[in-house]
Amino acid sequence: MILIKTAADLSSLLASQRASGARIGFVPTMGALHPGHLKLVGHSKKNSDATVVSIFVNPTQFNDPNDYTRYPITLEKDIYLLEQAGCDILFLPAIEEIYPEGTSLEEPYALGYLENLLEGKYRPGHFQGVCQVVHRLLELVQPSLLFMGQKDYQQCMVVQQLIRLKQLPVALRIIPTLRETSGLALSSRNLRLSGKDKEAATAIYRSLQMIRNELRPGNLEPLITRAVAEIRAAGFEQIDYVSIASAQDLSEVAEWDGHSPLVALVAAFISGVRLIDNLPLTETGSPVG
Ligand code: PAF
């Protein structure tokens, strides 16, 4: 694995790879890697000639400065895991390499309604920061394929919108969420949970499954109420949302017609750690790729 720290070195290495016809796969991360990230690397390896992984904890996407300063960093282990997984190039930039002109955004990305609901509502500015960094990384790496995890369902939709807006020549591949056997979705933030918290946090997946199992056409409010109660009873101190939404545009669905594709999404805090998860409720319920 080649470790690269500057944008200039990355661009020249990848230019020579592209010139020899290599199809580049890209997995952007913020580090603190877990098997979910490595699954993305595995998909990239299968479908590309060279796999690039970036590790960069992007300050512009953290609406809560404490969340930024407490974001787990496990660099040595990450490098080891990526080498084992067969990553070809690790891009490990300093902030000046990503934002040579500073972090302020000249013109906001036109994300429309996606910015005002669910994650966008509870984390103002978050998706602008995600677009800022992903746009910069895509310009540097110029991959054919971009691999992202379905756990960040709305982020996948936002990145798809970024690709459309900027007409970037890359295809987004969305990879299903990897879970512990308990059902807890793998997340870098799980590193900040105690064993007891992790056990309690399985209530999120249980409540998502309950929604999927109990889903019937008609009023969906009682399912939301039950899920909220189950998550609260497990010890979550704050629930930002439990939503049953259109799998295509994330608009809230209060009455289900029995046909339209749905996804259930949750964001909640346990011991100060914010967890998100989602579960497609119907066959076609995954973010449009
Ligand atoms: O999902 C993440 O880890 C981050 O939001 C991403 C896509 C690497 C951008 O910083």
Give yes or no: residues 164 and 195 share one domain: no
Domain closes at, from 175, 207, 234: 175
Give yes or no: residues 124 and 18 share one domain: yes
Give yes or no: residues 168 and 194 share one domain: no
Measured from the CB, is residue 158 less than 6 Å from ligand 1?
Answer: no
Residue 289 in domain: no
Give yes or no: residues 220 and 152 share one domain: no
Residue nearest to atom 2 of ligand 1 (CA): 29
What predicted TM-score, i.e. pTM, was given to this entire model? 0.97
Give yes or no: residues 149 and 204 share one domain: no
Intra-chain end-to-end CA distance of the chain, in Å: 29
Domain closes at, from 128, 150, 175: 175
**pLDDT score recorded for residue 285:** 60
Per-residue tens of pLDDT for the chain, all 289 residues: 999 999 999 999 999 999 999 999 999 999 999 999 999 999 999 999 999 999 999 999 999 999 999 999 999 999 999 999 999 999 999 999 999 999 999 999 999 999 999 999 999 999 999 999 999 999 999 999 999 999 999 999 999 999 999 999 999 999 999 999 999 999 999 999 999 999 999 999 999 999 999 999 999 999 999 999 999 999 999 999 999 999 999 999 999 999 999 999 999 999 999 999 999 999 876 675 4
Please answer whether residues 121 and 94 qualify as being in contact, where contact means their C-beta atoms are separated by less than 8 angstroms: no
Measured from the CB, is residue 29 less than 6 Å from ligand 1?
Answer: yes
- The domain in which residue 203 lies consists of 188-280
Please answer whether residues 204 and 240 qualify as being in contact, where contact means their C-beta atoms are separated by less than 8 angstroms: no
Beta strands (DSSP E) in 74-203 are 89-91, 145-149, 171-175
Task: List, edge to edge, every strand of the sheet that includes 145-149.
Answer: 2-4, 89-91, 50-55, 24-29, 145-149, 171-175
Atom of ligand 1 nearest to the CA of 61: 10
Give the domain CATH number at 276.
3.30.1300.10
**How far, in Å, from the CA of 29 to the mean position of ligand 1?**
5
Measured from the CB, is residue 134 less than 6 Å from ligand 1?
Answer: yes
Q: For residue 209, give Cα distances in angstroms to 130, 156, 184, 205.
A: 29, 22, 12, 6
Give yes or no: residues 149 and 198 share one domain: no
**pLDDT score recorded for residue 289:** 41
Domain closes at, from 175, 205, 237: 175
**pLDDT score recorded for residue 287:** 74
Q: Is 135 a catalytic residue?
A: no
Residue 181 in domain: no
Please answer whether residues 86 and 41 qualify as being in contact, where contact means their C-beta atoms are separated by less than 8 angstroms: yes
What are the backbone angles phi and psi of residue 102, rounded to the nearest 5°? Answer: 100, 170
Residue 287 in domain: no
Q: How many CB atoms lie within 10 A of CB 94?
A: 11
Please answer whether residues 252 and 116 qualify as being in contact, where contact means their C-beta atoms are separated by less than 8 angstroms: no
The dihedral formed by the CA atoms of 201, 205, 210 and 216, expressed in degrees to the nearest 10: 140
The dihedral formed by the CA atoms of 28, 136, 95 and 15, expressed in degrees to the nearest 10: 80
Q: What is the DSSP string of 141-168?
A: H--SEEEEEGGGHHHHHHHHHHHHHTT-
Residue 180 in domain: no
**pLDDT score recorded for residue 116:** 94
Please answer whether residues 45 and 53 qualify as being in contact, where contact means their C-beta atoms are separated by less than 8 angstroms: no
Q: Which residue among 33, 103, 154, 155 is best mutated to probe the pocket of ligand 1, counting the most ligand atoms within 8 A of its Cβ? A: 155
Q: How many domains does the chain have?
A: 2
**pLDDT score recorded for residue 283:** 84
Give yes or no: residues 36 and 131 share one domain: yes
Tell me how many helices (H) and strands (E) the chain has. 10, 11
Residue nearest to atom 1 of ligand 1 (CA): 29
Q: How many CB atoms lie within 10 A of CB 58?
A: 22
Give yes or no: residues 102 and 43 share one domain: yes
Give the domain CATH number at 12.
3.40.50.620
Measured from the CB, is residue 119 less than 6 Å from ligand 1?
Answer: no
Q: For residue 151, give Cα distances in angstroms to 36, 114, 135, 195, 229.
A: 9, 16, 20, 21, 22
Residue 30 in domain: yes
Four-residue CA torsion sign, 136, 142, 144, 148:
negative
Give yes or no: residues 261 and 154 share one domain: no
Give yes or no: residues 9 and 131 share one domain: yes
Q: Which residue among 54, 58, 99, 141 is best mutated to probe the pocket of ligand 1, counting the most ligand atoms within 8 A of its Cβ? A: 58
Atom of ligand 1 nearest to the CA of 134: 9
Give yes or no: residues 156 and 40 share one domain: yes
Q: 119: which 2 tokens?
A: 């994650």
Residue 117 in domain: yes
Residue 63 in domain: yes
Residue 146 in domain: yes
**pLDDT score recorded for residue 286:** 66
Measured from the CB, is residue 30 less than 6 Å from ligand 1?
Answer: yes
175 Cβ contact partners less than 8 Å away, ≥ 6 residues apart: 39, 40, 43, 147, 148, 149, 150
Give yes or no: residues 49 and 8 share one domain: yes
